[in-house]
């Protein structure tokens, strides 16, 4: 794959693309997990029953 690596070395800062994307994901994901875990449990249970609300099975 040497040739392919050489071809794309010419793009300025190309190696930052995967690093920026990983960093973006990890920070967003961490914020999301902390936020979600701190949410009200009672409301959570209430919302998880939504499909069963208008049940006439």
Judged by the rule CB under 8 A, the positions of this chain that interact with another protein are: 1, 3-8, 10-11, 14-15, 17-18, 20-22, 24-25, 28-29, 32-33, 35-40, 43-45, 47-52, 54-55, 57
CB of 2 to another protein, least distance (A): 9
d(CA 33, CA 38): 9
CB of 30 to another protein, least distance (A): 11
CB of 9 to another protein, least distance (A): 9
d(CA 21, CA 17): 6
CB 8 within 8 A of CB 14: yes
């Amino acid at each position: 794959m040497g040739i392919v690596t050489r071809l794309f070395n010419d793009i300025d800062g190309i190696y930052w693309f995967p690093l920026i994307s990983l960093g973006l994901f990890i920070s967003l994901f961490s914020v999301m997990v902390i936020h979600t875990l701190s949410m009200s449990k009672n409301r959570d249970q209430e919302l998880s029953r939504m499909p069963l609300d208008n049940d006439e099975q």
